[in-house]
Every structure is written in structure tokens, then in C-alpha cells.
A and B are shown apart, each in its own frame.
Chain A
Amino acid sequence: MLPSLEDVRIEATPVYIHKIDRQTHWNPAEKISLEDRVQRVVKEIFKTPDHTYSFWLVETLSDFYHVAASINALRRSPSDEIPSIWVKPAELSQIGLQANRTEEGKCLYAKNCITILRSLLTTPRNYASC
């Protein structure tokens, strides 16, 4: 049975999904200061030399399936799990990032990853959702 948005802990739409390599990249250590965590997450997740990143818009359950299929399209096993983070559009605008829909080759330019992460990581989190 295909999962619902609730099954993958997405509370409400629309959201932007950003794929990460491993869940431990977002949760790198048990006892770690916010600043250290920000640095580790930047090093692991927001690391491309040109500071551009893919965020996939999910407005409906169908969008979600399309995104998941697209992310895994080139994988050896298309059923591989996809660790990801999700961000609400309002949260992007709060930190001054403008979302622009593109067809190909252009991405969100996020030069100051530390600003983004500090904002995201200081928000209360439910452990079970990680």
C-alpha cells in the first residue's frame, strides 16, 4: 500500500522536499551545540560548491508520489527509501529566499546556508519525526 503524507510525517501542504543522503546527517550526534550541529549539517547537506539545491514542491499526495519516483529514477532500486527534510514555503520567505519554478538546470541559490539552518534547527522538533 502506498504511504500517505501522514505516514511520512508531512503535516500539511504545500511543502518543499529536499533529499538528503542519510538521516544521521541531520541528526549527527547526541550531545552537540546548535552551532556545531549547524556546521555539521552544512558540511553534509548544503555542500555543493555553487550553493544551489533542489527543493521539490509537494502540494498533493499525487505530487508526492511523482517527486519520490523522480528522485529515485536513476537508482539501482527504485524502491530505495529517500531520507529527506521538508520546509514550508513561508519558512523560506521568512529567511529571505525566493522560490522560482524552473524546468531544468536552475536551482534555489542559498549562499548563506548557516542562516537557513540556524532558523530551521532552532524550531521545536518532535523527536519521533526524525
Chain B
Amino acid sequence: MSNNVVDVQSIPMGRESSSSLVVFLQVPSTFLGSASTAKVAGLSTTLNPVIVEYFREPELRPVLRKKASLGIRTKESVFSVLDWSIRADVDEAFDAAVDLLSECGNCLVDGLVYLYLEYPLKSTTQFDLEKKLDVLINGLARSQQLSAEKRLTAISELMSSKSRIVKAAIIDALAMIVNSRNKKRVEGMLKRYASSSEADIYIQNYAKEVLEDLA
């Protein structure tokens, strides 16, 4: 590999833990916005103060995560988390939302189906919708409250998506959900993306890499 100035990769984490070597640390963001209500697809939903604190205080997230997740029981509350997930003024908003949603269960499936099939596009942009689907797919794939089969079935509903963001999220999700019982089904889904019928070469290669890892 050659002259790359910048490379993108995933760092597979080891178990070693240690103090950090910090060169630049992120300045804590200035957190803006209302803590009282949010618009969710035309509905107003009251924001749980614990969820607000969870997003506002990055260092408290590990201790607040469980408590904050107790306030997420409906698709509307899932959407309020998704609104936080795409805010530029919240530190590590994407990861924070994925981790929080991964503590939840059936409301993730309800939210995913609604967001993908029924969400009124007038209430958001296509781009933001895809970003929210990315977060939700990632959260659902990590959910320990849902069986692997339930997660797999929910995610398979999105296989018709033409979006690179959604396709990549599905491939990552499949890699997380796979186990000895569903391996054939997961491989079948991955092969659809890895085949020449997949128009996006990036997605084709991405799926091939995951298939190789599963082999």
C-alpha cells in the first residue's frame, strides 16, 4: 500500500487497557437546545431529563446509560434519541446514541419499521433519515434484549434499501448478529451484497470482506 496520505480503517480493539496518550483532546462541546420537548415526525414528545443529561455529559454516560434507557419504551422516544444522534454540538453523539439504544428492546423494532417504511419524508431530509437509520440499525444489532433471530428479521426488512449508508449498516449488523444457528442465513444475505448484481462496488467489497472473516 502506497502513497496514502490518509487511510480509513476500523481498529479491532484488544483487551489491553491503559492510560491514554493524548495529543489533542476534544474540547467539551457547548450543548445547546431545548431539554423540554422535541418534534418527532409531527409528534411532540417530552424529553426525559436523564436522556438529556446522558447526551450532555459524556463522562457520565457509562453510569447514566441504564437509567436513561428505562425512558425509552416507544418509537417516539427512540426517535428523540435519534434526533440527539445527529447533533453536531454533542460530543460523540453517534456512539452515545448507539450505546443507549442497544440497552433497549422491542421499541427498536417498532422504530426501525416505522422509520424505514412510514416516516413522513416531509419531516426530515433523506440524508438525515439515512443517518438515523444507521444509528438505529447499529443500536438494534447490539441489543441484548432481542434474540439474534428477531434482530436479523428486523434488519432483513431493510435489504431493499438503495442507500450506501443503510447497506453498510446492515452489513455491519450482520457481522454482529451472526452465530452458529443463523450463519447460513447471514451468509446468504451477505452474498446478495457481495454479488455482481450489487451496483455499488464499495458495498460489494465491504460484504466480501465480512464473508471472508466469517469463512
Which residues in A have some Cβ–Cβ distance to B below 8 Å? 2-3, 7-11, 16-17, 20-24, 26-30, 47-50, 52-58, 63-88, 91, 99-108, 119-121, 123-130
Taking the complex as formed, is B2 at the interface, i.e. its CB lies under 8 A from any CB of chain A?
Answer: yes
- Which 7 A-B pairs rank lowest in CB-CB distance, beginning with the nearest? A70-B20, A21-B94, A123-B5, A2-B14, A81-B10, A57-B23, A76-B99
Taking the complex as formed, is B134 at the interface, i.e. its CB lies under 8 A from any CB of chain A?
Answer: yes
Q: Taking each of A22, A23, A49, A78, which has the highest tally of chain B beta carbons within 10 Å of its own beta carbon?
A: A22
Which residues in B have some Cβ–Cβ distance to A below 8 Å? 1-30, 58-59, 61-62, 65, 88-89, 92, 94-95, 99, 102-103, 134, 142, 164-165, 168-169, 199-202, 205
Contacts of B27 in A (CB 8 A): 50, 52, 105-107
Residue in A53, A64, A74 whose CB lies within 8 Å of B26: A53
Residue in A2, A49, A103 whose CB lies within 8 Å of B30: A49
B141 to chain A, nearest CB (A): 11
Residue in B11, B61, B164 whose CB lies within 8 Å of A74: B61
Contacts of B62 in A (CB 8 A): 74, 76
Whether B8 contacts A75 by the Cβ 8 Å rule is no
Whether B13 contacts A82 by the Cβ 8 Å rule is yes
Whether B16 contacts A2 by the Cβ 8 Å rule is yes
